[in-house]
Amino acid sequence: MPVSGIWWPATERRARAIETESGVLIQVVGMDDLIDMKRAAERKKDLDDVEILRHLREASNGKNL
């Protein structure tokens, strides 16, 4: 289901692949994109997550999580 406010191809380009110990590549979005996606979904549980994620980002001093 598409969510307004997010341009998915841009999000996919910014995603990075992480290789597991078994050699499987997993695409992972960055913290800023995750916050944007949850904000765009506008569901209460996602908006609650946005607050938690913002605190985690601030606690990490801007490091890429």
51 within some domain: yes
User: For residue 2, is it within any domain?
Assistant: no
Asked if residue 64 belongs to a domain, the reply is no
pLDDT, tens digit only, all 65 positions of the chain = 455 555 566 666 677 888 999 999 988 888 888 998 899 899 999 999 999 999 999 998 766 55
**Enclosing domain of residue 52:** 8-59
Is 26 within a domain?
Answer: yes
Half-sphere exposure of 61 (CA within 13 A, CB side): 0
Q: Is residue 1 one of the residues assigned to a domain?
A: no
Rounded to two decimals, the pTM is 0.66
Which residue do the tokens 């605190």 mark? 55
Report how many domains make up the chain.
1
Handedness of CA 50, 54, 56, 11 (dihedral sign): positive
Does residue 47 lie in a domain region? yes
pLDDT of residue 47: 96
